[in-house]
Structures are given as C-alpha cells and as structure tokens.
Amino acid sequence: MAPIAGRERASGPALVLGSASSGILELIVFHPIDTIAKRLMYNQQKMFGGGNSFKEGMSVLNTVVFKEAATKGNLAKYFSLFPGLGFAAGYKVAQRVYKFGGQPFVNEYLKTKHSDSFKKAFGERRAKPMMQATAGSLIGIGEIVLLPMDVLKIKKQTNPQSLAGKNLFQIIYQEGFGLYRGATWTAARNAPGSFALFGGSAFTKEYIFKLEDYGKATFFQNFCASIAGSVASITVAAPLDVVKTRIQAKAKDQVESGTAIVMKMVRQEGFGAFFKGLLPKILVVGPKLIFSFTIAQQLIPIFQKMLDKKEQQ
C-alpha cells in the first residue's frame, strides 16, 4: 500500500486501524460474491455444453451457487451466500491488516537495507516499483500463517456438511494440521499474486502517471493503479487458486494431493477448469479493490491525525 502523502510510512496503529476497518466494510459488501466464486471453483460438474440444454445448465448453476436454498425464495437465496461469516470476518480483517499494514514495513526494510542492490539490478527508476512488488510477494508468502481461517471459511462456503453440528474446538481437534492443508499451493499462489498486485499498482503509478510520491496519487490514479494490479494478480494466481480451493474444501477423509487434483482436472474437465470462477472474481475486483483501497486510504490518514493529536496533548 502506498505511503500517505507527506510521510514515508504511516504509523503501525494507523495502518492497523485503517486496514481493519477496510476489511470489515469490504466483507459486508463483497462476501456473497466471494462465496459464488468459491462455489464455482469447487464445482466439478459441467454446467453448459456436453449435451446439456441452456435450461439444464442454468438449473445446475442455480444448485451450485445456492445449494440447499436453490428452490427457495430470493431472500433465502441471498442469505445462503453468507455461510462462515464468523470465519470470514476473522480471516478478512487479519488478512487486510497483515497485507496492507505489513507490506509498507517490508518495503521500508528493502529500501533501507537493499536499495542499492535493486538499483543495480533494475535501474534507478524501476527499483522503486520492484521493491514494492518484492515486498508484496514476501508478505504474500507469509500469509500462510492465516491459512486455518481461510480453510474454515472455504469449507463453510463450499462443503458445510463437513462442519455441521461441530463447535470451533471440535473442528480444530478434528482437522488438526489439516487446517494447513494446501500451504505449499497457497504460498505458490500468493508469491506471484501479491507480486503482481503491488507491482502492477506501483508500475502504473510510476510509468503511466509518472508519480514520484505514490502517496500523492489522486482518487482516479489510485483507481487505475488498483485495477491494473488486482486484475494482473487474480489472473496470474487463478490456476493455483482453483487447486488450493479444492484441496482446502475436501473433508478430512477425502484428502487428495494437489498433484492428484491437477491431473484429475486436466483429464476430466480440461485446462479451462484452472480458470473456473475467474470471471466473477475479475468482475468484482474493480469495485472491490477500489472500495477497500479508498476506505483504507481515507481512514489511515484520519486515524494518523487522531493519533498525532493525542500525542501532542
């Protein structure tokens, strides 16, 4: 995340408060769309083509998206898209605080300790966005510490039967280290995904808008940079994201390795299966990222000013 104008980096408390608030508001607005994307990625049925009529395909799509609520009214269908909200809230807030709040610290470390190395490797101008991208990638890899919350959120969204009638402690006891299932695939997805997210945003500000201070970007510049970085990130990470989702959504007695899932996908569904759910994610990435980015960018300076005033009193 870009620094606030006039500051090298916002303080830790301001970053945490702004990022957490952004995550909560983002969750309320976008959790239903995330559920749809996850259910489409987990689905292994052919919806359209393969001899299915359009009506039959729509019926399968309706069942995949709304599950038990497929035959109920519109309101029931809508609320069915909020499974695992507790897990999702914990994960989303922690993720936003970790990623948006942590990346500036890693970027600052790279600037302080390795700036000359980046300048020698990439040149004076490219060094800054490359440090932003590298800091994002490192933060992305470390995000696997949050994996248990992500696993439980995805299970609740795609395979709720595996958690039915169990409290949190029973689930943890039952799953054990299975909550870190797919950690390797998650790290493999996050490294290029976060690199593209922060790198794409930084390169847009550096080369399209020619900004020297990313923190002085206008609303429109932030919008464009966020869209560029986010679309690049989701597209690059899509194949590994599908594999990760299927690994995590499996019940404990149905565990398959990532390699086995990849082979089965190629054999049974074709290479297009690696991009299932990509369109909903790309369609939501614009408003989702501009929403969360705008909220964070608006709130972090406000919290920083409040904290500065408190210190001066």
- Positions in the chain short of pLDDT 50: 4-6
At 187, the amino acid letter reads A
Per-residue pLDDT of 146-155, as tens digits, reads 877 777 777 7
Per-residue pLDDT of 81-126, as tens digits, reads 877 666 667 777 888 889 888 888 899 999 999 999 999 999 988 9
Q: What is the pLDDT of residue 5?
A: 45
Q: What is the pLDDT of residue 225?
A: 86
Q: What is the pLDDT of residue 245?
A: 74
At 65, the amino acid letter reads V
Contact call for residues 21 and 295 (beta carbons, < 8 A) = yes
Q: What is the pLDDT of residue 116?
A: 92
Q: Count the neighbouring beta carbons within 10 Å of the beta carbon of residue 263.
A: 12
Rounded CA gap, 155 and 159, in Å?
5
Q: What is the pLDDT of residue 120?
A: 92
